[in-house]
């Protein structure tokens, strides 16, 4: 597969992805394609999903481009994790479709899809006494031959993932002895070792303290900046999103409210609409991102 050039990060910011229309409504649209961007490598088309009679994802359409970090945000029950499950093919939509590199996700065989898309789930149980290195090595399974043996290139990729997540000192430890934060880093390292152009992360910082969360998100940034990886993250932490996201996707009650560049979507009006609270957004010279505050 040929490598697609990364979209330019210093290009002129395009118009806001939502614009005023008569009656004070806003037209909800997907992330805008920027000049010079390649074609989307992941696309959701009119996705719907229901639990029984409850609509959880409602007619959501999105386009995702390589080399960018998208954050899915919204209140509890917004449909964020369900949408991620749909994008990762863990769930089948009630209607609509998902395109991966221009092909319907169902037309990719499981081995092929595993080389294109990897998911780091929020809840992952280590039920066996494997070492950290052995768990990270599981990310290479889609590439192994008949006998399932790692070659030198596989081992190099595994060790690189271990180093990227700062797990070198833990590599020989049993995963059943790790803390929650350490285990979360192991899951992400295994996902990175899968070497896919699309990485999906479900609440990757949920078990981490402040320093660990900042460190992990900074390491994720290397995937988009150096590897041209598309990263889609679900998180409740808007402060981390305001520092590390390239694009925001806001959901509410299963519907898409807005999607687009961070500075165009992380606004007081939009945050107020999504979270039903008064919001203030300011530039933060200390973090290099935005500072967000809420009150009733």
Mean pLDDT of 128-157: 92
Q: Is the pTM above the cut of 0.75?
A: yes
- Reported as a single tens digit per residue, the pLDDT across 63-79 is 999 999 999 999 999 99
What is the structure's pLDDT at 35?
56
Give the CB-side neighbour count of residue 236, counting CA atoms within 13 A: 9
Could you tell me the pLDDT band of residue 1, with boundaries at 50, 70 and 90? very low
Q: Is residue 6 predicted with pLDDT exceeding 50? A: no
Helices (H) and strands (E) in the chain, counts: 9, 12
- Reported as a single tens digit per residue, the pLDDT across 216-257 is 999 899 899 889 999 999 999 999 999 999 999 999 999 999
What is the structure's pLDDT at 230?
97
Q: Is residue 5 predicted with pLDDT exceeding 50? A: no
What is the structure's pLDDT at 128?
83
261 φ/ψ angles, rounded to the nearest 5 degrees: -55, 150
Planar angle of CA 61, 66, 72, nearest 5 degrees: 45
In this structure, of 30-44, 55-69, 186-200, 276-290, the range with the lowest mean pLDDT score is 30-44
Percent of the chain with pLDDT over 70: 88
E strand or H helix at 223: helix 210-226
Q: What is the CA radius of gyration of the chain?
A: 19
**CA 259 to centroid of chain Cα atoms:** 14
Give the CB-side neighbour count of residue 165, counting CA atoms within 13 A: 27
CB atoms within 10 A of CB 3: 9
Q: Is residue 24 predicted with pLDDT exceeding 80? A: no
In this structure, of 67-76, 124-133, 164-173, 277-286, the range with the lowest mean pLDDT score is 124-133
Mean pLDDT of 247-273: 96
Residue of 18 and 97 predicted with greater confidence? 97
| 44 close to 62: Cβ distance less than 8 angstroms | yes
Beta-strand ranges (E) seen in 8-53 are 42-51
Mean pLDDT of 103-110: 94
Could you tell me the pLDDT band of residue 34, with boundaries at 50, 70 and 90? low
Burial class (CB in 10 A: 0-12, 13-18, 19+), 268: middle
């Amino acid at each position: 597969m040929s490598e697609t050039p990364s979209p330019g990060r210093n290009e002129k910011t395009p118009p806001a992805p939502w614009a005023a229309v008569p009656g004070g409504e806003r037209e909800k649209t997907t992330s805008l394609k920027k000049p010079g961007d390649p074609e989307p490598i992941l696309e959701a088309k009119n996705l719907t999903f229901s639990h029984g009679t409850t609509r959880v994802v409602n007619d959501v359409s999105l386009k995702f481009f390589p080399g960018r970090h998208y954050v899915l945000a919204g209140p509890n029950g917004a449909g964020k994790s369900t949408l991620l499950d749909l994008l990762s093919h863990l769930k089948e939509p009630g209607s609509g479709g998902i395109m991966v590199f221009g092909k319907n996700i169902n037309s990719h065989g499981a081995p092929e899809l595993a080389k294109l898309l990897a998911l780091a789930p929020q809840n992952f149980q280590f039920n066996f006494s494997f070492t950290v290195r052995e768990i990270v090595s599981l990310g290479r399974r889609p590439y192994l031959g008949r006998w399932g043996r790692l070659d030198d290139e596989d081992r190099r990729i595994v060790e690189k993932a271990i180093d990227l997540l700062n797990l070198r000192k833990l590599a020989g430890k049993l995963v059943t002895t790790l803390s929650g934060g350490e285990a979360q880093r192991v899951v992400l390292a295994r996902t990175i070792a899968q070497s896919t152009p699309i990485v999906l992360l479900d609440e990757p910082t949920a078990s981490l303290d402040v320093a660990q969360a900042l460190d992990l998100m900074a390491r994720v940034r290397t995937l988009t900046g150096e590897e041209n990886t598309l990263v889609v993250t679900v998180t409740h932490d808007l402060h981390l999103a305001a520092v590390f996201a390239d694009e925001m996707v806001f959901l509410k009650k299963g519907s898409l409210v807005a999607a687009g560049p961070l500075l165009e979507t992380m606004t007081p009006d939009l945050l107020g609409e999504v979270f039903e609270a008064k919001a203030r957004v300011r530039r933060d010279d200390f973090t290099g991102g935005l500072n967000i505050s809420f009150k009733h």
